[in-house]
Every structure is written in structure tokens, then in C-alpha cells.
Chains A and B, each alone.
Chain A
């Protein structure tokens, strides 16, 4: 009897750990059955390429959610970072412009600055994360429109265009950026002191404070990282679309949050992994790609995506019923 109970526990643990991968594989299987063109290298590369900005944003947003907060500003911040970097990536008719590193740094700084403001307002101003980032959502979009005068900025150097459109060793270049971002966020979240603090704050802010965690500083850094990762996403996105568009990124925050939640991150804080978010982002990518291939109209796709996030949170409540 004893052994049987242990078996069940192991089964549960395995399910808990790998359920997201199983969902991903099952979805891919279903899509392949419905449309054999789904499972081609070309299409899979396409999904990865399309999903890269969302996944990178989700990595950052995931930290905020694990800490018990939220960052809904990323969809606007990516637009702001994209138009700012576009200003620096633009070349004139003779092909002269800033060196490649300048637009990259500009984008990271723009994202980081937005995150810094979010973090300070949340940690020191004690404004709820939802409200603080809701404000930033509007501010960043406004700044993007002001800088770009409402029009897309185009005409980048070839070197810059390579980031989003080029291939390296047979793989689209964005995939390398995606993997590098994943490794960085994995290390931050699961291997550093700072990462441990994120989990601690999300579990109980009071207990974290008492245990000597610098809660305010940690929170600021969380939102800065969320902003910087949005900056990385902006580089990939602008380079892939060959433009800095002030209207880009609308609804991306929802996709990023959904990716984190599907990946097992708990909205009540303290629970989540970098790997889960990665898989969650891929699930969202497969879903969107699959629905498009099946010629489901965009309006219906929105209905499905909306339902998915609610279902994911519903499952999250089920998993964490001990908190109630």
C-alpha cells in the first residue's frame, strides 16, 4: 500500500514537471494530423522566428509574476524601444549611419529606463504593479508615437537587418538570440541569489523582509530586467519587420503573460520556471500558427487565445489550492 502511494506521488510529480511539454507535443501532433504541412522544418522555423520577441518578453514578465507582481507595459515598451532604436539604425542614401552597436544599446537602454521607472514607482512609491505598469503602457506608447511622429521609421543598414532576417549555420539568427536570452534568464532565476529573492518575495514579502532580503532593491531590478528583455525583443522585431513602428506590440503583453502562466507560473507568486515560460511561449506560437494554417479567422483566434489564458489561470488555482 505504502509503495503504491509513493508511485502516485512520483506520477504526480512527473506530470507536474512535464505537463507543459506534453501539452506542446500533443498540440503539435493534433496540428500535424489536421494539416501535414505543419510539421515541416520551414514551418517550425517560422514559428520560432515569429515567437522569438514574445518569448523573450515573456522571460522578463515571468520574473515580475513570480515576485507576485505583473508587467503589462511590455507591449508598449517594445514599440518605444523599436522606434528609438530605429532612429539610430537608420542609414542615409549613401549608406552612412551609426555603428551597429548604437541602436542595440539604445534599445536596451530605452527598455531598461522604462523598467527602472516601473520598478521605482512600484517599490518605493508603493503603487500596485498593475497600476504602475498600466500607466507606463500608455506613456511608452505615447513616447513611441511622439518620437516617430506616428509613422514607421524604415531604411536600416544591412548589418542591422541581418539580426532579424539572417541565417547563421543554417538556423535563423533570431533563434540564437532566443536561446541566449533563455540561458541568461535561466541563470538569473535559478542560479543566483537575486533569483532566490524573487521566489522569496513572491511567496511572502513579509517573510522575505524578515529574512534580510532587500525587497525594494530586488523589485526595482526585476522590472529593469523585464524592460531590458523587452529591449532585446524590440531589436529582433524591428530588424525582422525592417522598421520601427509606433503601433507595434499591441496585445503582446497578453501573449507574454499567457506564455508565463501556461508555463506553470503562479499568479499568486512564488512559483514558476524559466523553462516553463519557454515552453509556454512555444505553445502560444504553435496555437497561433496552427489556427492560421487551419484558416481560422483572426477574430476567432482572439476568442481562443482569450479562453486559453483564463483556462491556464483556472488550472493554476487548482494547482495551488493551499493558499486559500
Chain B
């Protein structure tokens, strides 16, 4: 591609976060007037790259050329002024404002020589903008909150062109909209292309790429694998590239004796999140749950644990039907849940390590009214030793601990409830390699003791190394069960994209 045809050139861009190399020497080009897809597994580096293009993150090294000029965006406003706009996955409209107000947010038109709003002109221009992308059924006077998600997205696109953006980034635009609206979206994209706009399209749905994109760039583990014409490839080849061949066996798992069924879930549904989920779990088994972000994995487990209310379905524990309406019910029935969001739904940041450890088993550590302090000190001490938690005093705020040690405290919290079934959601996210291996060892030891474990993970290597069986989830449905012996990355990914 010649320099003139090239709209965006990313050259040797790297970006690291503590413990993670998110982007590793990325170079690729996007040509003017094309639809360019980005694909890759969770954590492959797509989002980081988008955030760099938008000025939300700053690259450690490397250069970005836009329209032939070297650019450095310090702030989303810089990117916007240069002509880069983004349609976010979670829409970022002001919901209480109207379509027109949103489109002209922070660049309102005023009547000549005054500071008064020129509402008429803004509404007219909003209407024209919507027409340009072929939309004539949205009234610019409606409030955003009264529109469907698909229509909100259309308004965002209209807003993007109102900035005269030459490059529009779309982050999984079809993740939250029904299939008939997807067709409309594709029409819009084609219209934009005809106008000479360039689109970077991030998606997990590979079929879409072949329908809409000219080129596709594949990312893996922060590296750019290749950029190819969509006409020169197919779905299997893309999956192959996304997965790569380098499976590192990080954790030597000891296989536990698999016992009787301890948990049986039948046709569990939760409105708008997932439908008809059924699975079983046996003693000593680690059931890996794989799926893309947003597939509904966490929601299934949250419903099982009583955080969300189920619509239909039955849950049996050790053959007996149980009615779980709150986490309290779940804990009483021998369930434990290590949540994904350590900071918000896990740790009590201002409180001591000791309180953080005994809180879920407080009943076992108290009399009728009073907490038995001595007992909590003993239990905490025992856990600190058993899990080798690094802490100077158990009265320290948990906030002062590293992520890995915080995670171990949370594991300790749930171990003290003596659960039969432990659900862990992304148990090693954001913790360093050493702590990761320790958390894995902990889980394996629990399985060896006959506990049943459900492990949600977005890390393919973790799923493969730890699981006895793998359940795949896609768009709120269970799409398959794969025995660990037959599991490969390709197989899992295929089911996850089903």
C-alpha cells in the first residue's frame, strides 16, 4: 500500500502494565476507505490498542502516523480533533438528553452573537446526519433512554460523523443488538465506506468479518500475528492464527478421584442474560467454564449463588432440590463464590485482613451476639500460614496487600466456610505468575480433598491446564462440554464462537 492510501500506520508500539505486556512491538497499517477488522482472544491486546489510538493510554514505545503525520494523543479530545472517533461497546450517551443534545454535546450551536442555544438548527442538522447514514426513523427530539440499544448505537455513529471523523473505531458493535439490527448496522457501515470513511471493527464474531471487512488483523498475546485480505482466508484459518501453537503447560495438575454428582443444574434461566443452562458437577472435579467476555459465564454463576434472581430452573445439591434466593442461602448450602471483581465485590478495602478473612464464616466465629475474637485470630493465623499470605500484621488493611495476597485472603475467606462447591471467577486475573501458580495449587489441593470446583477463566492455558471437563458458553447458551483429554484450544474457541 502506498503512503497516500495509508490512513493509519502503527509502528513498533509496545505497552506494558505491571506484570503484563499488553502490546508487544505492534506494527500494522489501515488503508483509507476500508473496513479493517481486528480479532483475537480475550487479552490479545485489541482493547489496549484501541485505547492508545483514542489517547486513553500512552504507548511505552513506538509511533503512530495518522494521515501521514506523526501523532501523539494525550487525551481523547486530541484523537477526536485529529479525526478519530469511537463507538463504545458500552454506549456512552447521556441517557437523559435527547438525540440532538447528545450529538451536539460540548459543541452546541448558538444563535448569532449570543450564548443562547440554536435548538432548531441542531435538530435539523441531527436529522441530516442521521439521514446520511440512511436512518430516517429516529426523531432527534427523543431522549436517548427511550431508544433501543441499536438505535442508540446509530446515534453514536451519527455523532461520530458529526465530528467529521475520518476513522471510526467500533468495539464489538453487534454484541448487544438483535440480528435484524445487525443488517442495518452493516448498511450504515457500507454507507460510511462509500463516503470515504475508514472503519476499524473489533469483533468476536468471525462470520461478520467475512461479510463486512476488507482486511483482518489477528492479535495474540499482545502480538500482531498477521494482516490479510478477508477474501484470502477462512474461519478455521483465523482461529488457527488466534490460537497459535505455543501452549505452555504452566501447571502440573494432579488428577483427583472424581466422585458422585454433588451439583446438578437444570434449565437455569435468567432474563436477558442466559437461557436453559444445564450441567452437573462431581466431587473432586474441576469444571472449567470458557467463553468470551459477555457470553454470560459470570451471570450463570451469580444466579447459581443467589446474587441474581433466576427466572426458571432447578438446582440440586447432593440430589436434593434447593431454593437459593440470596448468597446467604447459597452459603448455607455449601456453596462459595470467589467473585471476578476483587476490588468491588471481594475485598473490604478499608478493613483488616482478619475481618476480611472471617466475615463469610462469622457465624462459626461467634456466639449469639459477640464475635469470638480469639477464635478469629486463630483462624486467620492458620489461614495465613496455610496459604502463605504475606502480611505484616493481620490487623493491616487488606488494601495494603498485593493483588495476589488479596486474592489468597479471599480464598481463605471461602475456605473457612468449609464449602462443598467452590466457584471461582477469573481466580488469577491481575496477579503475578508466582501467586498464580500458588492459587492453582490451592485449587488442585481442594479438588484432591473431594471438593467440587467451578472455574471461570478467560485464559485458555489456565482452562486447559486445570480443568477435568470444560463447559463452553456463548451468547447466554451452553454450547458444549469437552473432556480435558480431548480438549484443544481450537475446539474450545470454536465452541465459544458458536
Contact = CB atoms under 8 A, between A and B. Distances in A.
Contacts of A209: 307, 326-327
Contacts of A187: 370
Among A193, A199, A271: residue with most chain B CB under 10 A:
A193
Given A191-B370, A193-B369, A196-B371, A211 B359 contact: yes
A199 to B, nearest CB: 6
A22 interface: no
A320 B349 CA distance: 11
Contact of B351 (A193, A200, A320): A200
Nearest to A320: B350
Interface of chain B: mostly helix, strand, loop or mixed = mixed
A196 B357 CA distance: 12
A295 interface: no
B344 interface: yes
Contact of A203 (B327, B330, B339, B351): B351
Contact of A204 (B307, B326, B349): B349
Interface string A182-223: 000001000111111001100110111111111000000000
A210 B348 contact: no
Interface residues of B, number: 29
B311 to A, nearest CB: 20
A213 B337 CA distance: 14
A271 to B, nearest CB: 5
B349 A196 contact: no
B97 interface: no
Interface string B329-352: 011000001010000111111110
Nearest to A204: B348
B362 interface: yes
Nearest to B346: A207
Given A196-B359, A199-B355, A211-B327, A271 B348 contact: no
B328 interface: yes
Given A196-B359, A209-B307, A203 B348 contact: yes
Interface in A251-293: 266, 270-271
A192 B348 contact: no
A212 B328 contact: yes
A314 interface: no
A204 B345 contact: yes
A4 interface: no
A322 interface: yes
Contact of B348 (A195, A200, A214, A266): A200
Contact of B345 (A193, A210, A212, A271): A210
Contacts of A213: 328, 359
A192 B371 contact: yes
B366 interface: yes
B369 A192 contact: yes
Nearest to B414: A211
Nearest to A191: B370
B347 A204 contact: yes
A149 interface: no
Interface in B295-350: 305, 307, 326-328, 330-331, 337, 339, 344-350
A255 B440 CA distance: 52
Given A199-B355, A211-B327, A212-B328, A323 B349 contact: yes
B345 A207 contact: yes
A323 B347 CA distance: 13
A40 to B, nearest CB: 40
A203 B344 contact: no
A192 B370 contact: yes
Contacts of A193: 362-363, 366, 369-371
Among B339, B359, B369: residue with most chain A CB under 10 A:
B359
A214 B371 contact: no
B355 A214 contact: no
Contacts of B371: 191-193, 195-196
A271 B362 CA distance: 19
Interface in B265-315: 305, 307
B360 interface: yes
Contacts of B370: 187, 191-193
B331 A212 contact: yes
B426 to A, nearest CB: 15
A210 B345 CA distance: 7
Given A206-B345, A207-B346, A212 B360 contact: yes
A42 B146 CA distance: 67
A323 B370 CA distance: 30
Among B339, B350, B355: residue with most chain A CB under 10 A:
B350
A203 B337 CA distance: 19
Nearest to A206: B345
Contact of A270 (B327, B350, B373): B350
Contacts of B328: 212-214
Nearest to B302: A210
Given A211-B413, A213-B359, A199 B351 contact: yes
Given A196-B359, A210-B307, 18 more contacts: A191-B370, A192-B371, A193-B366, A193-B370, A193-B371, A196-B355, A196-B362, A203-B348, A204-B347, A207-B346, A208-B359, A210-B305, A210-B339, A211-B359, A213-B359, A266-B350, A320-B350, A322-B349
Interface of A: 187, 191-196, 199-200, 203-204, 206-214, 266, 270-271, 320, 322-323
14 contacts: A192-B371, A194-B369, A196-B362, A200-B351, A200-B359, A206-B344, A207-B339, A209-B326, A210-B305, A210-B345, A211-B413, A213-B359, A270-B351, A322-B349
Interface of B: 305, 307, 326-328, 330-331, 337, 339, 344-351, 355, 359-360, 362-363, 366, 369-371, 373, 399, 413
